[in-house]
Amino acid sequence: MANRFTINAYWSLLKGVTLVRARILLSGTTPVLQKWTYPAPNSGTIGSYGTAPTSGGGAGGFGDTAGCEGVLSVTRTGTGLWTVQLQDSFQRVLDLGGYASLAGGTSNIVAIHENTSISDMVASGGSKVGVALLSATATAADPDASSYVTLNMVLQNSTSP
C-alpha cells in the first residue's frame, strides 16, 4: 500500500481514500505527463505546467523523482486506451473520471472510464490503472493533438473496512 502521508480530503465511511490527479498533454497521440511548477515565493508570478521527469530518485513525485503527484507514467496502449502507472500500490479504484480540454475548440473526448482489463492493483512498482477515452459515439478515441486530459482517480489505500 502507499506508504506516504496523504492529506485527509474526504469525509468517507471507507478508510484510506486518496485522490490522485494527473494532467496529460497530447503530443500527436503520445500522452506526456505534466508537472505543476510552483513559482518562487513572493515572485508575483503564477505557476505553470511542464513535462514531468521520466527518471530520478524513485517514486514520490517530489523534487527530482520521476512522475508527478502520485503518477509515475502514462502510456498509450491502443486507440483511446492508456495505462497509468501509479507511484504507489493501492487496494482498489473507487472512481475514475476527468475531462479533456482543447485551446480554441471542443474536445472530441466526452467521457473517461476505467478499462478493467488493463488495471492491475498489485503490479510491480505501483498499481496500474487502465483508462478508456470515449468519443460521442461511445467508442475509444484518441484526443486531438495538443489537447490536455485531466484524470481524477479516487483510490482506496486501506485493507481494512
**Residue-level pLDDT, tens digit, the chain, 161 residues:** 565 666 665 677 788 888 999 999 998 889 999 998 888 888 888 888 989 988 765 444 445 567 888 899 999 999 999 999 999 899 999 999 999 988 887 889 999 999 999 999 999 889 999 999 999 999 999 998 888 999 999 999 877 66
In degrees and rounded to multiples of 5, residue 52 shows phi and psi of -70, 145
The pTM of this model reads 0.86
Q: Domain range spanning residue 77?
A: 17-156
Q: How many domains does the chain have?
A: 1
Q: Taking a C-beta distance cutoff of 8 angstroms, is the pair 36, 47 a contact? A: yes
Residues 6+ apart with CB under 8 A from 82: 31, 74, 75, 76, 130, 131, 133
Residue 74 lies in a domain: yes
In degrees and rounded to multiples of 5, residue 61 shows phi and psi of 75, 10
> What's the confidence (pLDDT) of residue 14?
82
Residue 85 lies in a domain: yes
Residue 12 lies in a domain: no
* C-alpha of 18 from chain center: 13
Closest CA to 31 of 156, 145, 152: 145
Q: If residue 71 lies in a helix (H) or strand (E), which one and from where to where?
A: strand 71-78
Residue 77 lies in a domain: yes
Q: If residue 86 lies in a helix (H) or strand (E), which one and from where to where?
A: strand 81-86
Residue 37 lies in a domain: yes
The HSE-up count of residue 29 (CA atoms within 13 Å, CB side) is: 11
Residue 147 lies in a domain: yes
